[in-house]
């Protein structure tokens, strides 16, 4: 009846790789951030798939808790990342990461 | 006797009858379930959209009376059918897309704005077991789905390629996110008391309406509902006199009608949600047990009362300034609802020997504590206002008044 | 093939098409909308995994907060969205190669491993258990509190960084 665990893992791996490609190939800082968010999502799919298929039978909840922590960290990351991007845009009028090669504003 | 039983339990009987007829046609069980579900969805959508037909005349009439004018009175009777010619007018207007607009996004936004508003109806309870789907995360579902509304407005603003629309989009993020936080905090206080997130369970757990138990949460929720549904005095997103119509400025005809429908559907949904969370939902002094057939009408009556309150707000308060609006949320509503949440957390931990008395003791403690907090808030506000009396700007205003 | 497998394939298609849109679309605003599509699909996958709470949190936080912040940031820096803007850097071929090779390796490994799966029904009070686990002294209270401190720090930091002087 159920969907096999490996299907979830394959989809999550595909999502991770697409996100990785996005993070590596975009010039725009916001685009890179979006790639990173995709990668975090794929990790969460994995965590919940492992929870459903392995942990439920054992009665533990580590996967769900881990997923919640990951979502929290992703929220913090997005907030700080976008603040940095907006600040950089304000000072240098660009969000192209290749122009941000000085360690000062 | 059998007839009366049939009338009193009409909705249950109706459901059973539909099921019987469908199985009588020789359909397999899954097809019966599917057809029954589709019928249920249709009924919910029709109810949602019918709210527009009911509440536009109500709004125009009520506000007209409050402003001492007759309001629409041409379309028979008493102008109550005004919504129909309005709808025909909308349908026959020209459909305009701005030349430089992003065409696809411009078209996507009106659709996207209606969908989440209607999806919310899936978990709003109309009676015991008269509910689209009793999710165990019902309230969270409502909050989560309504955030798509922000997105739709952002797309509308971006897709129109208009300065006013873009200004409105910047306000959307600010206002709707600011008011989502106290809204969720006040819902959380209710969830702490009911120990369930299912909307049905919340109604069942309310022995006395939570409006009496936690007036602070009820007040915060009402204000947030006004801001979330973008109703006056919090309608800063479309503020006619500042932004023309905000994100809707480039929409005409049927596309504008979609935004219009979504506003009323949203308003009705949040009125039902407020009556579910704070006014006892479909319960009304035991009437729901004596005559289950009346429960949808009880819900409708309570929701209409809430909408009347919203109209009252609209007719009597001037529109807020934007920084005041956002500041009011972050500096006043959020701390207040946090205090309320902490109180609720303490109140539900009070040990009561007899489970029958539990809601009364805990509710009573919560109610008294809430009153204390309200008094303290009033005192602090009063003191701040006193201090302001000496402020030069205020002195000038007072002098000008004289 | 049964119903839930069909639903899974549909949702995975939504997730992956959305993700592809995110990394490939030239218009950054559209890319962000594809990101939201992908998030909604992931939320659907969570429902399929019977983690309703996480599905709703996903909608609330990713769609309602993170994605909207991203769209907002794009609107703020909108002068850069001109069609002439090159949004792919010189290393995109290498990036593509790395991603494809990584996926091949991962898929190969994932299909080789014999996972110790066990069928069991999700308990009725899974959400209540999760809530307990997050605040119970001998379970996850420490990560939970650290996460809340992290959020606080991030919030204050974001305000300080983004505030105009």
Report CA torsion sign: C73, C74, C75, C78.
positive
Q: Is C117 on the interface with A (CB under 8 A)?
A: yes
Calculate mean pLDDT across residues B89-96: 81
Quick one: pLDDT at residue C80?
Answer: 56
Quick one: pLDDT at residue B1?
Answer: 57
Q: How confident is the model at residue C79 (pLDDT cuts 50, 70, 90)?
A: low
Contact A76 C133 (CB under 8 A): no
Quick one: pLDDT at residue C84?
Answer: 53
Nearest to B210 by CA among B195, B222, B193: B193
Average pLDDT of every residue of chain B: 82
Give residue A20's domain range.
Answer: 5-93
Answer whether residue C108 is part of any domain. no
Length of chain A: 105
Calculate mean pLDDT across residues C88-105: 85
Quick one: pLDDT at residue C78?
Answer: 67
Contact C52 B155 (CB under 8 A): no
Range ranked top by mean pLDDT from B91-95, B209-213, B216-220, B254-258: B216-220
Answer whether residue B189 is part of any domain. yes
Give residue B111's domain range.
Answer: 86-385
What's the structural domain count of chain B? 1
Could you tell me if C83 and C149 lie in one domain?
Answer: no
A82 has pLDDT over 80: yes
Judging contacts by C-beta atoms under 8 Å, the chain C residues touching residue B166 are 75
- Residues 139..158 of B with a Cβ closer than 8 Å to C: which? 140-141, 143-145, 147-148, 150-151, 154-155, 158
DSSP code string of B99-154: TTS-HHHHHHHHHHHHHHHHHGGGG--SBTTBSS---TTHHHHHHHHHHHHHHHHH
Could you tell me if C39 and C5 lie in one domain?
Answer: yes
Q: Cβ distance B97 to B90 under 8 Å? A: no
Answer whether residue A100 is part of any domain. no
Contact C54 A85 (CB under 8 A): no
CB contacts < 8 Å between A and C, how many?
A: 250
Answer whether residue C77 is part of any domain. yes
Answer whether residue C158 is part of any domain. yes
Judging contacts by C-beta atoms under 8 Å, the chain A residues touching residue C102 are 16-17, 20
Calculate mean pLDDT across residues B46-69: 84
Q: How far is A36 from chain C (nearest CA, A)?
A: 11
Length of chain B: 402
Q: Which of these ranges, B89-93, B242-246, B330-334, C6-10, has the smallest mean pLDDT?
A: B242-246
Judging contacts by C-beta atoms under 8 Å, the chain C residues touching residue B173 are 68-69, 72
Calculate mean pLDDT across residues C100-117: 86
Q: Which residue did the predictor score with more confidence, B236 or A49?
A: A49
What's the structural domain count of chain C? 2
Rg (CA), chain B: 23
Nearest to B131 by CA among B30, B276, B271, B18: B276
Cα A89 to the chain's mean position, in Å?
23
- The Cα–Cα gap between A40 and A42 comes to 5
Contact C115 A38 (CB under 8 A): no
How far are the Cα atoms of B12, B106, B148 from residue C60, in angstroms, in the given order?
A: 34, 24, 9
Calculate mean pLDDT across residues A1-5: 74
Contact C161 A87 (CB under 8 A): yes
What's the structural domain count of chain A? 1
Q: Cβ distance B160 to B255 under 8 Å? A: no
List pLDDT tens digits, range B159-172.
777 788 888 888 88
- The Cα–Cα gap between B367 and B213 comes to 5
List pLDDT tens digits, range B347-374.
888 888 787 888 788 888 888 888 898 8
Answer whether residue C25 is part of any domain. yes
Q: How confident is the model at residue C81 (pLDDT cuts 50, 70, 90)?
A: low
pTM equals: 0.86
Chains in contact with A, counting 3 or more C-beta pairs less than 8 Å apart as contact? C
Contact B151 C68 (CB under 8 A): yes
Q: How far is A6 from chain C (nearest CA, A)?
A: 7
C86 has pLDDT over 70: no
Calculate mean pLDDT across residues B377-401: 77
List pLDDT tens digits, range C22-63.
888 877 888 888 999 999 999 998 988 888 888 888 888 888
Quick one: pLDDT at residue C83?
Answer: 53
Calculate mean pLDDT across residues B64-75: 82
Judging contacts by C-beta atoms under 8 Å, the chain A residues touching residue C103 are 13-14, 16-17
Answer whether residue C51 is part of any domain. yes
Residue A79 backbone zone (phi > 0: left; psi -120 to 50: alpha; other: beta): alpha
Q: Which residue did the predictor score with more confidence, C140 or B243?
A: C140
How far are the Cα atoms of B273, B313, B325 from residue B310, in angstroms, in the given order?
A: 14, 5, 17
Nearest chain B residue to C69 by CA distance is B173
The pair phi, psi for residue C98, each rounded to 5°, is -60, -45
Quick one: pLDDT at residue A16?
Answer: 92
Calculate mean pLDDT across residues B175-189: 88
Q: How far is C156 from chain A (nearest CA, A)?
A: 9
ipTM of the predicted structure?
0.86
Which H or E element spans position B311? helix B295-316
Report helix, strand or coil for B30.
helix
Quick one: pLDDT at residue C149?
Answer: 92
B265 has pLDDT over 70: yes
Contact A83 C120 (CB under 8 A): no
CATH of the domain at C87: 1.20.120.1200
Nearest chain A residue to C162 by CA distance is A83
Give residue C61's domain range.
Answer: 1-101
Answer whether residue B77 is part of any domain. no
Calculate mean pLDDT across residues B224-247: 75
| Structure-block tokens of residue C145 | 């509190």
Q: How confident is the model at residue B387 (pLDDT cuts 50, 70, 90)?
A: confident
Q: How confident is the model at residue B135 (pLDDT cuts 50, 70, 90)?
A: confident
Average pLDDT of every residue of chain C: 83
Calculate mean pLDDT across residues B141-166: 84
- The Cα–Cα gap between B385 and B376 comes to 14
CATH of the domain at A28: 1.10.287.3510
Calculate mean pLDDT across residues B13-25: 78
Q: How far is B338 from chain C (nearest CA, A)?
A: 15
C140 vs A17, A28, A65: nearest CB: A65
How far are the Cα atoms of B16, B124, B130, B282, C53 from residue B10, in angstroms, in the given order?
A: 10, 19, 11, 16, 34
- The Cα–Cα gap between B12 and B296 comes to 12
Quick one: pLDDT at residue C61?
Answer: 87
Quick one: pLDDT at residue B60?
Answer: 83
């Amino acid at each position: 009846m159920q969907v096999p665990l490996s299907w979830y893992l394959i989809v999550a791996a595909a999502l991770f790789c697409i996100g990785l490609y996005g993070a590596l190939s975009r010039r725009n800082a916001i685009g890179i951030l979006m790639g990173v968010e995709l990668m975090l999502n794929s990790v969460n799919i994995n965590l919940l798939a492992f929870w459903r298929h392995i942990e439920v039978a054992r009665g533990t909840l580590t996967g769900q808790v881990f997923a919640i922590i990951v979502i929290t960290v992703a929220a913090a990351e997005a907030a700080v990342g976008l603040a940095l991007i907006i600040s950089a845009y304000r000072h240098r009028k660009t969000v192209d990461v290749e122009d941000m090669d000085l360690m000062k504003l | 006797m059998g007839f009366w039983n049939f009338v009193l339990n009409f909705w249950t009987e109706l459901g059973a009858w539909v099921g019987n007829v469908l199985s009588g046609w020789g359909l397999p069980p899954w097809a019966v379930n599917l057809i029954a579900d589709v019928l249920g969805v249709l009924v919910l959508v029709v109810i949602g959209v019918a709210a527009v037909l009911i509440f536009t005349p109500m709004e125009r009439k009520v506000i007209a009376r409050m402003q001492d004018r007759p309001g629409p009175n041409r379309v028979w009777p008493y102008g109550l059918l005004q919504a129909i010619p309005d709808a025909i007018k909308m349908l026959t207007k020209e459909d305009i897309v701005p030349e430089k607009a992003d065409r696809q996004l411009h078209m996507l936004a009106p659709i996207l704005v209606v969908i989440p508003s209607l999806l919310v109806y899936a978990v709003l309870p109309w009676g015991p077991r008269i509910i689209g789907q009793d999710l165990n995360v019902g309230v969270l579902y409502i909050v989560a789905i309504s955030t798509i509304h922000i997105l739709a407005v952002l797309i509308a603003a971006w897709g129109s390629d208009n300065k006013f629309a873009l200004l409105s989009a910047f306000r959307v993020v600010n206002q709707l996110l600011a008011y989502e936080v106290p809204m969720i905090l006040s819902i959380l206080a209710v969830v702490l008391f009911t120990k369930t997130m299912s909307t049905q369970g919340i109604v069942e757990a309310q022995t006395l309406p939570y409006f009496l138990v936690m007036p602070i949460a009820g007040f915060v929720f009402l204000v947030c509902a006004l801001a979330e549904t973008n109703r006056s005095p919090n309608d800063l997103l479309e503020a006619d006199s500042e932004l023309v119509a905000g994100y809707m400025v480039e929409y005409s005809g049927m596309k504008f009608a979609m935004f219009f429908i979504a506003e009323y559907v949203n308003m009705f949904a949040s009125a039902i949600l407020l009556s579910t969370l704070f006014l006892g939902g479909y319960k009304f002094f035991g009437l729901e047990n004596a005559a289950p057939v009346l429960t949808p009408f009880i819900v409708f009556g309570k929701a209409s009362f809430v909408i009347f309150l919203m109209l009252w707000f609209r007719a009597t308060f001037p529109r807020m300034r934007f920084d005041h609006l956002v500041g009011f949320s972050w500096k006043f509503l959020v701390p207040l609802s946090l205090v309320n949440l902490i109180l609720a957390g303490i109140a539900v931990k009070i040990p009561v020997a007899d489970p029958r008395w539990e809601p009364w003791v805990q509710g009573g403690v919560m109610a008294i504590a809430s009153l204390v907090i309200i008094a303290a808030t009033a005192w602090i506000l009063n003191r701040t206002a006193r201090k302001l009396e000496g402020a030069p700007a205020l002195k000038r205003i007072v002098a000008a008044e004289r | 093939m049964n119903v839930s497998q069909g639903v899974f394939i549909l949702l995975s298609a939504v997730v992956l098409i959305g993700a592809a849109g995110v990394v490939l679309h030239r218009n950054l605003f559209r890319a962000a909308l594809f990101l939201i599509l992908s998030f909604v699909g992931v939320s659907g996958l969570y429902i399929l995994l019977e983690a309703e709470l996480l599905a709703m949190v996903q909608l609330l936080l990713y769609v309602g907060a993170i994605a909207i912040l991203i769209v907002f940031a794009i609107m703020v820096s909108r002068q850069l969205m001109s069609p002439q803007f090159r949004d792919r850097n010189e290393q995109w071929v290498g990036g593509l190669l790395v991603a494809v090779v990584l996926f091949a390796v991962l898929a190969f490994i994932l299909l080789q491993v014999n996972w110790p799966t066990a069928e069991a029904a999700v308990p009725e009070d899974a959400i209540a258990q999760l809530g307990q686990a997050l605040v119970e002294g001998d379970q996850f209270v420490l990560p939970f509190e650290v996460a809340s401190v992290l959020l606080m720090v991030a919030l204050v930091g974001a305000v300080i960084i983004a505030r105009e002087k």
